[in-house]
Structure 1
Amino acid sequence: MKLVLLGANGQTGKLVLEAVLAKDIDVTAVVRSADKAPDLQHKSLQVMVGDPCDPVFLTSVFRDHDAVISALGGRLPSKVATSVYYRSTVAIVEAASVTGLKRVLVTSTALLFPNQTLLGKLLRFVVPNAVRSAGRMDKILKRPGPDWTSARAGFLNDVSVATYRAQREALPENSTAVSRLALAQFLITAISNSETQGAAYGVSQAST
């Protein structure tokens, strides 16, 4: 398998990259600038610099690749920052249609699930831009095109726990958070799991 990773320099993206390379999967890591390139050397790693929201650039990257994982997300809850969700997805789908790339996995927010706790309902009002942009992303993915999986997570933390719970079209019960490491593991596992295609999965920390 040959994989493209968008957002490879982000907190989640770095963990995805490390886990993929540990499996000796060929991966092309995409970063916006050369100074953000991963500080890694590996025979299975290639780095390309460019705009992940540019379909022409992504078309050049996607050729001869099988799948893409997008770990992109807005660092701030502003309208401009969070627009990366849907803008990158438009570019991904267009480039996939040109190159024949078959598999797309993205990170999203659990606030899109309809059944929310009181805290979740409040957060929808606090970060409406992220919710709207992620919602537009999912609508784009649901159009005819590549096989897709959306990993919707709640609060992300840096706990060194790789185990997770995942539920189709819902956040697992009594869930509030998940480690970035666990989210990365779900994404990697889901690549080759046909049961995860065409759906959003709530991903949370494993029960203790």
Structure 2
Amino acid sequence: MKLVVLGANGRTGSHVVREALERGATVTAVVRSDAKRLAIRHDRLSVAVGDPCDPEFLAGVFRGQDAVISTLGGRRPTKRATSIYYRSADAIVEAASQTDVRKILVTSSALLFPPRRLLDRLLTVIVRRVVQSATRMEHKLRAANLDVIVARCGFLTDSEERRYRAERGSLPADGSSVARLGLALFLVDTVQNSWSGHQVCGVSGPRDHERSPK
């Protein structure tokens, strides 16, 4: 499989790159600048430097590829930072229309699911720009003629927990967080499968009593 990873130098994206390479994929890692190149070296890894919100740049990267995984997201809940969600979606859709790429996986926020707790409602207000931008991203991808899987997740952690739970259409019970490594494994597991249309999956880590000992 030939795979493009957007946000490849991020904490989730770097896990995606490593896992995909370990499984035999040929990976093109997209980074914004030479300063953000990955420390990873591999004969099946190439790096494309450019703006992931530029459709012409992405079209050049997408040609000849099988699928795209985007782990892009705002590092802060500001209007400018969170706009990466919908600006990258606009570029992905336009670039895909110029190429043969149809399989797209993106990460999003579990706050787009109906709130289960008072805390969820409060967070929706506190990080409303994340919710608004991620919603706009999802609407753009849903309207496109592409095979899309949206991975909605809650808090991301840096633990070494590899296990995850995924549920179509909702967040798994008691699923408030997931390790970035676990999310990356979900994305790589999923991209290797066949699917069509637009799907939304909630992704979380195992329940507390199931977690791996440290």
Q: Report TM bin, short chain.
A: over 0.9
Which shifted more, 114-123 or 192-201?
A: 192-201
1:37 is matched with which residue?
A: 37
1:148 is matched with which residue?
A: 148
Distance, in Å, in 2 between the alignment partners of 1:89 and 1:195 is: 20
Matched, 1:165 2:157: no
1:59 is matched with which residue?
A: 59
Change in Cα spacing, 1:87 to 1:117, as seen in structure 2 (3 Å) is: same
Whether the aligned pair in 2 keeps the contact of 1:190 and 1:196 (CA below 8 Å) is no
Distance, in Å, in 2 between the alignment partners of 1:145 and 1:55 is: 16
Distance, in Å, in 1 between the alignment partners of 2:121 and 2:196 is: 27
Matched, 1:199 2:199: yes
Alignment of 1:1-208 (within 5 A): 1-195=1-195, 198-207=198-207, 208=210
Distance, in Å, in 2 between the alignment partners of 1:197 and 1:44 is: 29
Whether the aligned pair in 1 keeps the contact of 2:2 and 2:67 (CA below 8 Å) is yes
Whether the aligned pair in 2 keeps the contact of 1:166 and 1:201 (CA below 8 Å) is yes
Amino acid of the structure 1 residue aligned with 2:113: F
Return the TM-score normalized by structure 2: 0.94
Distance, in Å, in 2 between the alignment partners of 1:174 and 1:97 is: 38
Whether the aligned pair in 2 keeps the contact of 1:168 and 1:202 (CA below 8 Å) is yes
Amino acid of the structure 2 residue aligned with 1:128: R
Deviation at 1:195, TM superposition (A): 4.8
Give the RMSD, CA atoms, in angstroms: 1.1
Distance, in Å, in 2 between the alignment partners of 1:116 and 1:87 is: 29
Task: Give 3-state SS (helix, strand or coil) of 1:119's partner.
Answer: helix
Unaligned runs of 5+ in 2: none
State the percentage of identical aligned residues: 51
Distance, in Å, in 2 between the alignment partners of 1:134 and 1:153 is: 12
Deviation at 1:204, TM superposition (A): 0.4
Amino acid of the structure 1 residue aligned with 2:136: R
Which shifted more, 140-149 or 50-59?
A: 140-149
Amino acid of the structure 2 residue aligned with 1:91: A
Unaligned runs of 5+ in 1: none
Aligned residues: 208
Amino acid of the structure 1 residue aligned with 2:124: R
Task: Give 3-state SS (helix, strand or coil) of 2:106's partner.
Answer: strand
Distance, in Å, in 2 between the alignment partners of 1:196 and 1:64 is: 20
Deviation at 1:102, TM superposition (A): 1.3
Whether the aligned pair in 2 keeps the contact of 1:149 and 1:199 (CA below 8 Å) is yes
Task: Give 3-state SS (helix, strand or coil) of 1:21's partner.
Answer: helix
